[in-house]
Amino acid sequence: MDFLQLDTGAADPLYRQIYLRFRDAITQGLLQPGDRIPAARALALELGLARGTVESAYGLLTAEGYVEARGQAGTVVTPALARHAPVAPTPRHAPAHDNLGDAASTTMPFQMGIPALDAFPRKVWARLAARAVRAMRPQDMIYPPWAGLPELRIAIAAYLQLSRGIDCTPSQVFITNGYRNSMELVTRALLKPGDGVWVEDPGYPPTSDLLREAGMRVAPVAVDGEGVMVSHGIASAPQARAAIVTPGHQSPLCVSLSLPRRLALLDWAAQSGAWIVEDDYDGEYRYVSRPLPALQSLDREGRVLYSGTFSKVLFPAIRLAYIVVSPAQVPRFEEISRTFAASGPTLMQHIVADFMNEGHFARHIQRMRRLYAERREIAAEGLSAVLGKHVRIDPQPGGMHLILRMKGHHTDRAVAARMREHGMSALALSERGVLPHGASALLLAFTNVDTPERARELGKRILKLMA
Amino acid sequence: MDFLQLDTGAADPLYRQIYLRFRDAITQGLLQPGDRIPAARALALELGLARGTVESAYGLLTAEGYVEARGQAGTVVTPALARHAPVAPTPRHAPAHDNLGDAASTTMPFQMGIPALDAFPRKVWARLAARAVRAMRPQDMIYPPWAGLPELRIAIAAYLQLSRGIDCTPSQVFITNGYRNSMELVTRALLKPGDGVWVEDPGYPPTSDLLREAGMRVAPVAVDGEGVMVSHGIASAPQARAAIVTPGHQSPLCVSLSLPRRLALLDWAAQSGAWIVEDDYDGEYRYVSRPLPALQSLDREGRVLYSGTFSKVLFPAIRLAYIVVSPAQVPRFEEISRTFAASGPTLMQHIVADFMNEGHFARHIQRMRRLYAERREIAAEGLSAVLGKHVRIDPQPGGMHLILRMKGHHTDRAVAARMREHGMSALALSERGVLPHGASALLLAFTNVDTPERARELGKRILKLMA
């Protein structure tokens, strides 16, 4: 067990070090499928550790499928690994087809919805977090206010005013455990089972999945170059009680909802008494001009709920998002956030509030906007240079991914499937909706493509799969 | 503004220090209702700070009702404070009747559901948190697995086996954002709107509120000295699809569900295909004998879901709980946790997993069990000595609160209301259910009553209110 060099001064706890050493030994082939690993008791003795420490590591390896207990015969490296990569107990957070190599590193190339993690100011973050946890007082340990920490609600309201033209008081801002939790609050607060809800098509399938589980009737509405086709929605599902839309950059087509469409949508909502949820998941990231003001800022009738998240501007593991409701809806949302205990851990809310209040947030967004503009260029140029015969890359004003339209005989689904088999992440546009639209394109995030060399190298890997 | 001594080396950020200094100055009467406070710009100049820092502090003070902006006339200490205490924008997390003095300190005397925060090992916690955040790698920044971090699921499964006799694999453990989120997952996964659900009466009103908002029909079932009366449930709501029960220490009566009742309940569930949710919110805290094994450990038919939380054994602001489901239900719960993105921030899950894996958790529970046994004695003796003429204190094997039965002409509601008016927390047993049962008692948490002197002093405060 030469690979088991532990570092007692390291930040990682010992059980995790053992787990990581074994995992690396297995993925690198030092330990082969079928090889026996030492009994926990024996290894603990050898390393001079508590048996529980080794057992925790083994438990993790077992749960993730790296090793298997074989009763009397001891524990062995999972024999099936010879054929395919093991699967973590809950691998569904990635768009599927995670494989071991990539799960062990960071994320897969082109993985959607993941910001440029290398550019996140981790030291500042760690400093604020350490400070917040040291300063923890008894009143920070009781239940946080259900609607969220006042500090954070205030900071968000101020930010939205400045950056998105949204005029709201902190009491209209409700902190949630993430975008899906925001949508859940909306369905609980304003809708009832059986209600029709417009969703964009192509769109973001998790939204439709959530609405269906919540008992709503999902009504897909077509999207064109001006965004969601309001007239199509009115024709096909006039009785809908709500519409969930992405006016900033349509997900996944990246188009902005045109002003006439914005007005038509607001008009429909006002006349039919329906609600509009503006999902502004990455509204900050527009590169060719100033970000557009939010749809909510045009709303005179209090029909728009604005949904924001920290997953894209900070990072997804924070699990904090928010929803801004009209003043008339505040009492109902207070009731619902209390009943379902929305908002998140006090510590996370404190860290984000401090990050915003001390100017790091605005600086980070500025920096990321420049970085993404650059990476988008790099990725588009590198991929075009190599794949130009097969794809045409959409020009687009913002967002976090490229759209590669298929020109030849290849279908987006076939190429995306091949890419996933070969350790890349890829989404096919034709899989993102249910309406027939004939568009065939790959959706590839550029946020983690950091050099021209990397872009061309990835392009070549895709080209090889198309041969 | 002599009170504005800021400490640039302090753990609290400057905006927060300003906020706290003003708040204290107002609550202590240094600043009187109607007094003008300096313009943010002027104060920032005077203190040599960025204007935004002062504005953040003022925003917080405004949101919480301490000060009011008066346009041209500047900002003043809220005149209405002369009559009553201001209310934070979302004060509903406490059982109502928070007032300013107490909101500014920690918690109110006798506040239910709050562990002994003074005894929490905050230094260890801060050390683990700082370590976890320093060790944050890109793979810790993407979406956490929806069902929870494998490390935490493994640690919980091992802990439940040892302490509660629950035999489960980590894949049966689903991490949630708290007890209410656990209940929400259960209703999403297993029930449909209109389904009947048994709840204990007297019981825990937030459970009923949540079930009603989720569209369930709530069926109150009476509780006696042996716990929930299964025969009453079968007679009054035989078609119910689920029962939510607290077999360890019934909430709020603290009785344990007797073995015959446990078997009758399991039998009913097996025969009618109903689900039992075992809410084991404080199962660790039994003082006269070993904690009882969980009801789940008797279940042979896979009808019991076990609900645990870290709010009581650690502290509520963590917002982490879990639900253990039968192997047959794992796929359905995986689907539901993915759809609604349950589980919590990666950082919080890491800290708790490390806290468990490194032995702090078991030590903390041991220590708290001794401490609570002691505080329960102290509180019961002190209160009896002073209030013996008016109340009889139930003997009880565990839990985190005392039950003071009213002996004289006082009703629990009247005394509880008076106590709340005078800055104490108090719940009246007669308010905790809808069925008529004639019991009149005060529910008072003893977890933060730390000395005999304190107990007697609090007793005298109550006695005065009864005169």
Could you write out the DSSP letters of every residue in B349-407? HHHHHHHHHTTHHHHHHHHHHHHHHHHHHHHHHHHHHHHTTTEEEPP-SB-SEEEEEE-
Q: How far apart are CA A248 and CA A278, in angstroms?
A: 9
The Cα B10–Cα A460 span in angstroms is 54
Interface touch A93/B181, C-beta < 8 Å: no
Residue spans per domain, chain A: 2-83, 119-362, 370-466
pLDDT digits (tens, 9 = 90+) for A88-106: 333 323 333 222 222 334 5
Collapsing DSSP to helix, strand or coil, A399 comes out as: coil
User: Does A358 sit within 8 Å of B106, measured CB to CB?
Assistant: no
| Residue B318 with chain A: CB contacts under 8 Å | 345
Topology of domain B370-466, CATH: Aspartate Aminotransferase, domain 1 (3.90.1150)
> What pLDDT shows up at residue A94?
32
Look at B60 and A158; give whichever has higher pLDDT: A158
Distance CA(A360)–CA(A367), nearest Å, equals: 10
Give the mutation candidate from B319, B322, B330 for the A interface (greatest A CB count, under 10 A).
Answer: B319
Q: Which DSSP helix (H) or strand (E) runs through A213?
A: helix A205-213
In angstroms, the CA A145 to CA A139 distance is 11
Point out the residue among A105, A142, A150 whose CB comes nearest to the CB of B64: A150
Cβ separation B90–A339 shorter than 8 A: no
Q: What is the pLDDT at residue A44?
A: 82
ipTM > 0.90, yes or no:
no
- pLDDT at A201 exceeding the cut of 60: yes
CA distance B52 to chain A (A): 8
Query: Do residues A251 and A294 touch, judged by C-beta distance below 8 A?
Result: no
* B178 vs B323: CA distance, rounded Å: 10
Tokens of A6: 């532990």
Nearest to B170 among A63, A91, A357 (CB): A63
- Nearest chain A CA: its distance from B120 CA (Å): 9
Asked whether the predicted pLDDT for residue A139 surpasses 90, the reply is no
> Residue length, chain B?
467
Give percent helix, percent strand, percent coil of chain B, each to the nearest 5: 45, 15, 40
Beta carbons of A320 and B345 less than 8 Å apart: yes
**CB spacing of B13 vs A346 below 8 angstroms:** no
Q: Measuring CA to CA, how many Å separate B341 from each of A206, A461, B145, B335?
A: 10, 33, 9, 10
Between chains, do B341 and A89 touch, taking CB under 8 Å as contact? no
Residue A80: partners with Cβ closer than 8 Å, 6 or more residues away: A33, A86
Q: Which residues share a beta bridge with B37?
A: B75
Helix runs in B202-274, H state only: 205-213, 230-236, 259-272
Residue with more model confidence, B397 or B448: B448
Q: Are A426 and A443 in contact (CB under 8 A)?
A: yes
Which of B23, B58, B90, B134 best tests the A interface by mutation, with the highest count of A CBs <10 A?
B90
Position A69 pLDDT exceeds 90: no
In Å, how far is B354's CA from the nearest CA of chain A? 7
Question: Given a cut of 90, is residue A314 above it in pLDDT?
Answer: yes
Closest Cα in chain B, distance from residue A113 (Å): 9
Task: Answer yes or no: is pLDDT of B344 > 70.
Answer: yes
- Per-residue confidence band for A16, with pLDDT thresholds at 50, 70 and 90: confident
CB pair distance less than 8 Å for B126 and A139: no
Distance from CA of B437 to the nearest CA of A (A): 26
| Residue among B111, B154, B176, B216 with most chain A CBs within 10 A, to mutate | B154
Q: How far apart are CA B255 and CA B264, in angstroms?
A: 17
3-state helix, strand, coil in chain A (%, to 5): 50, 15, 40
Tens of pLDDT, residue by residue over B38-53, are 888 888 877 878 777 8
Cβ distance A233 to A220 under 8 Å?
no
CA A142/CA B311 separation, integer angstroms? 9
Residue A93 is nearest to which of B130, B138, B146, comparing CB atoms? B146
CB contact under 8 A, B56 and A12: no
| Mean pLDDT, chain B, integer | 88
pLDDT of residue B101: 27
Residue among B28, B97, B12, B106 at smallest CA distance from B60: B12
For residue B316, give how far its alpha carbon lies from the nearest alpha carbon of chain A (Å): 5
CA distances B202 to A61, A176, A342, B428, Å, are 45, 31, 25, 11
- Tell me the shortest Cα–Cα distance from A347 to chain B, in angstroms: 8
The whole-angstrom separation of Cα B47 and Cα B179 is 45
Q: What is residue A172's DSSP assignment? A: G
State mean pLDDT over B384-394.
Answer: 95
8 Å CB contact of A145 and B91: yes
Mean pLDDT over B12-36 rounds to 79
Q: What's the pLDDT score for residue B106?
A: 52
Nearest C-alpha neighbor of A93 from the set B353, B147, B333: B147
Q: Given this structure, which CATH class describes domain B119-362?
A: alpha beta
How many CB atoms within 10 Å of residue B8? 7
- Shortest distance between the Cα of A108 and any Cα of chain B, in A, equals 11
C-alpha B204/C-alpha B220 separation (Å) is: 11
Question: Over the stretch A214-272, which tens digit does the pLDDT of each residue have?
Answer: 999 999 999 999 999 999 999 999 999 999 999 999 999 999 999 999 999 999 999 99
Give CA–CA dist B293/A457, Å, rounded.
59
Quick one: CATH architecture of A2-83?
Orthogonal Bundle (1.10)
pLDDT digits (tens, 9 = 90+) for A27-38: 767 788 888 888
**CA–CA gap between residue B453 and residue B384 (Å, rounded):** 13
Tell me which H or E stretch contains A393.
strand A391-393
**Cβ-count burial B404-416 (b if 16+ within 10 Å, e if not):** bebeeebebbebb
Residue A303 has a pLDDT of: 98
Residue B150 has its nearest CB partner, among A64, A334, A338, at A64
Of chain B, the end-to-end C-alpha distance in Å amounts to 43
- Work out the angle at residue B58's Cα, subtended by the Cα atoms of residues B57 and B62, and round it to the nearest 5 degrees: 120
Name the pLDDT band for B63 (thresholds 50, 70, 90).
low
CB pairs A-B closer than 8 Å = 271
- Is the distance from CB of B77 to CB of B32 less than 8 angstroms? yes
The answer to whether B442 and B428 have CB atoms below 8 angstroms apart is yes
Strands A196-201 and B227-228: unpaired
Contact assignment for A180 to B340 by CB distance below 8 Å: yes
Strands (E), B288-372: 304-309, 321-324
Nearest CA of chain B to the CA of A352: how many Å? 13
**CB-CB under 8 Å, A334 with B11:** no
Which residue in A8, A51, A64, A90 has the most chain B C-beta atoms within 10 A of its own C-beta, making it the best mutation to test that interface? A90
DSSP letter assigned to residue A284: T
Q: Residue B105: its chain A contacts at CB < 8 A?
A: 139
Percent of chain B exceeding pLDDT 90 equals 68
- For A89, the closest chain B residue by CA position comes to B171
At residue A23 the predicted structure's pLDDT band, cuts being 50, 70 and 90, is confident
- Distance between CA B166 and CA B160 in Å, rounded? 5
Q: Which of A64, A125, A143 is opposite residue B316, by nearest beta carbon?
A: A143
Whether residue A180 and residue B11 make contact (CB cut-off 8 A), yes or no, is no
Q: Rounded mean pLDDT of B86-90?
A: 34
